Chain A
Amino acid sequence: MTRDLSRPILIAVSALLAAMIVLPVGWLLVVSLTNKEGGATLGNFVALFTDPTFVDPLITTLIIACSVSVICCLVAAPLGWLVARTDMPLARTVRTLVMASLVTPPFVGAIAWEMLAAPNSGLLNQLWRLMSGMPSDEALFDIYSLTGLIFVISCYTFPYVFILVANALDRMPGELEDASSMLGAKTWQTARRITVPLALPTLLAGALVAFLQALNLFGSPAILAIPAGFHTLTTRIWSLFQFPPKPELAAAASVPLLVLTILLLRAQAMALGRRGYAVLGGKYGAPRSIRLGWLRGPAVALALFVLAMPLFLPYAALFNSAFSRVASRIVTPETITLHNVRFTFLELSSTMPALKNTFLLATASATLGALLALLIAYIVARKAVRGHRVLAFLATAPLAIPGIVLGVGLFLAYTRPPLALYGTLWILLIAFVTIELPAAYQQLGSAFHAVHPELEEAGRMLGATRLRTLADITAPLLRSAVIATWCFIFVATIRELSAAVILFTSETKVLSVLIFDLKESGDVGAIAVLSLSMVAITTIVIAAANRLHARPQMRPAT
């Protein structure tokens, strides 16, 4: 008989996951409770909560997260409804473009919005002065402000809420709405009485997702808040890592972020858990599409206006400064220059190593992460081994660890023996796989539900081991889900900044960190070129994977 390896594999995977999570979080907690001399203390927390340079950022961060959450819902809910439930023109295009805007790393978006709305040199402010004749020191927008930061974070957060809302509206049974209108309700009444209440739990979950995003974001605040003269929690944690580094305070400052995130995730699970009542069984008709009539034009105009914020305007600004000597001037055929492109690719000696590191790490993280997620999803979905629930918990646990907190934890865990990984690409690989594992696991977990266990059982009955069945039967059937997950991790790794900015060394610099370095010295031309290259690579990889995806599925052998 062939030996079944499933038990040892479960143990090995559990141990690996436990190490990935427990090591950084454990060290974080230990260090946060340790004083400089190595004794146990609560002093770090006392120091933080009595120090205005920590309390102010905490309050600012909460204001930002609440505002972003509200704005995202206000924008995403109507837009999601327009796309999913009405006959708005270009609905598919709008949906694709909102998703595409997620490819933009938030810190690149923030830099692009600096080019657009810096009070004096911002292109939009210049345009406004040109049209209104206002003097040179009057500004319409000031991106270096709390409202500016909230706006930019919202631009790159509302797509998450949008996707949740649009998908939920897609799945919502049309019969309930039909019944409502048959009973004599008007279109708007149906929307108010049926559609909105059914969508509300999803919206609540979306609000929490947005809150979490805003809470844990590092790039945009680092770029916009510091010039404006304030810190958020993440930039404050990062600043505690600058010279003279105070890891014990950074660790202590990470704990509130960790606790808040865990609480919010519990709340989100509860909100999403209620969604079940919408789908009670039986087959439903496709959701009905509401006729907008004369509102079709204004609706699509509104959708395109919203899309201008994360997509059209920022990319126009990036292209402009990529080919301009000074980012605040509009390129004309006379002034167009390849200076920045030449500088970035021929002079800047960090470009090629950073591209190489990024590509290597993204490929490795995506491959490793997708395989690991596949394995876990299989064990959990097929209840292959007793104790599988532990795995499901461990695979989702990293969701509760913000990137910057994970960065601090990994730094503390791997700058000492036995695993002194700091300074190698391994520590970044561990960080990226840990960060992306929950989403990868959730995607593949739901994919497993679509594959009928009978196929696997047939394989098992014919004498194949679990691993063999997984490789020969299940994996080919899950191919498209695996490719989608791979792409997802690849993209997410390329845009990751918050953990990388703590963990990189000069030899292991990635593209996001290089852009951040260039930002600190104000080299916006090179940033524009690198950002556009980064987005181009990401888009090409996604397009290539989608082609692979579109090929006819392999049939099980007959």
Chain B
Amino acid sequence: MLSAAPPPQAITPELVEAAKKEGKVTYYTAMDLSVAEPVAKAFEAKYPGIKVAVERTGAERLFNRIGQEVGSNIKRVDVANSSDAAHFIVWKRQGWLEPFLSADMAENLPADQRDPDGAFVNQRTHLSAIAYNTSLVKPEDVPKGFNDLLDPKYVGKLVKGHPGYSGTIMTATHQLSKALGWAYFEKLSKQKVLQVQSATEPPKRIEAGERAVAVDGSDYLFWMAKERGAPIEVVHAVEGTPQISNPMAIFKAAPNPNAARLLVAWIMSAEGQQFIVNLSGQYPAHKLVKAKAGRPALASIKTLPEDPAEVEKSADEIKTRYQRLFKV
């Protein structure tokens, strides 16, 4: 049977009514709480009477939790959104996802921002960037890229996230192992790296001054901290910066299917996308929404190619190799 995208659905008053009757929606996400919770609150303000329960953890943890919950027949997740696009391939193959496209999504999402069968769409894109604390790194010591971080002067000064927890780091580790080889990580593991879990933590650690340089981390948080006045600068590596898409999907067994549709439709609307852009400066998927002023344009940055299908095949191997090198 030929698969095809579902017919675009209009956001009718009936859908809104049905969603309000459900009264809540559970949103599993890997996005930092400082963005995810305001997004939820904005949706609640737009549609009073529908509460959003935000369940945030790392993409790899989300995948595990959803797997255990669905496997034990616990119906809880309505909408899932994470930084590991490979997971959506798996869920789609298992038949867990409910295809959905609103009329606006069908019209304004470029083809490369959505699954051809409408099973998932890319909510937003961010980068896993290098960044440093300007009060801890002298101008002449600023790294230009990943290979610079192997210099002995960075021993004990680096912090990085973990691919067994974070989808951002999993995706980035895959891209970097392709671009630089595993030998790079072997050398990096000798640099006395402070190993945190989430890609959302290195920004917090370098802002606190716990380490001078972040090897990886969600770039939007570096920028948000900088714009708040923190002494942080972002580096786009000469070797290329890992690019991370953040798909979002509705689950077939969703206990609140109407509220789920409404939430996805709103987040992907120009209004929802603009909200995320204004707050965090992540790169929007919607054609009519402009990237945040003051941030470098995505096209101007040398990024590394993303390949979710490859990530899916090699995820276990990446975790095992990483654990062997970094010991945790």
Could you list which residues of chain A lie within 8 angstroms of chain B, going by C-beta atoms? 53, 56, 118-121, 136-137, 144, 225-231, 239, 242-245, 326-328, 343, 347-350, 353, 415, 420, 422-423, 505-507, 517-518, 520-524, 526
Contact = CB atoms under 8 A, between A and B. Distances in A.
22 contacts: A53-B323, A53-B327, A56-B327, A121-B205, A121-B210, A136-B136, A144-B194, A326-B207, A327-B208, A328-B208, A349-B40, A349-B52, A349-B53, A350-B54, A505-B68, A505-B74, A518-B33, A520-B58, A521-B32, A521-B33, A521-B198, A521-B201
B209 interface: yes
Contact of A423 (B72, B212, B323): B72
A423 B74 CA distance: 7
Nearest to B67: A243
Nearest to B201: A522
Contacts of A230: 327-328
Nearest to A231: B328
A242 B60 contact: yes
A121 B208 contact: yes
Nearest to B200: A521
Given A229-B195, A328-B208, A521-B200, A347 B38 contact: yes
User: A interface, by DSSP: helix, strand, loop or mixed?
Assistant: loop
A353 B53 contact: yes
B165 A520 contact: yes
Given A136-B209, A415-B71, 6 more contacts: A120-B211, A227-B194, A239-B328, A242-B164, A243-B61, A523-B204
Interface residues of B, number: 59
Contacts of B74: 422-423, 505, 507
Given A328-B208, A328-B209, A521-B197, A506 B65 contact: yes
Contact of A242 (B37, B64, B193): B64
Q: Which of A120, A245, A327 has the most CB of B within 10 A?
A: A120
Interface in B135-180: 136, 156-157, 164-165
Interface of B: 26, 28, 32-34, 37-38, 40-41, 51-58, 60-61, 63-65, 67-69, 71-74, 76-77, 136, 156-157, 164-165, 193-198, 200-201, 204-205, 207-212, 230, 316, 323-324, 326-328
B28 A227 contact: no
A517 B64 CA distance: 14
Contact of A520 (B28, B57, B64): B57
Contacts of B316: 244
Contacts of B67: 243, 245
A119 B72 CA distance: 43
Contacts of A347: 33, 37-38, 41
Contacts of A245: 64, 67-68
Given A137-B157, A520-B165, A506 B69 contact: yes
Contacts of A227: 194-196
Contacts of B60: 242-243
A326 B76 CA distance: 34
Nearest to B157: A137
B62 to A, nearest CB: 9
A110 to B, nearest CB: 14
A506 B28 contact: yes
Contact of B208 (A242, A326, A521): A326
Given A522-B196, A524-B204, A242 B57 contact: no
Contact of A506 (B55, B196, B230): B55
A195 B124 CA distance: 70
Q: Which of B198, B212, B230 has the most CB of A within 10 A?
A: B198
B50 to A, nearest CB: 12
A422 to B, nearest CB: 5
Contact of A229 (B38, B76, B77, B328): B328
A242 B62 CA distance: 10
Nearest to A236: B328
A228 B159 CA distance: 11
Q: Which of A118, A227, A521, A523 has the most CB of B within 10 A?
A: A521
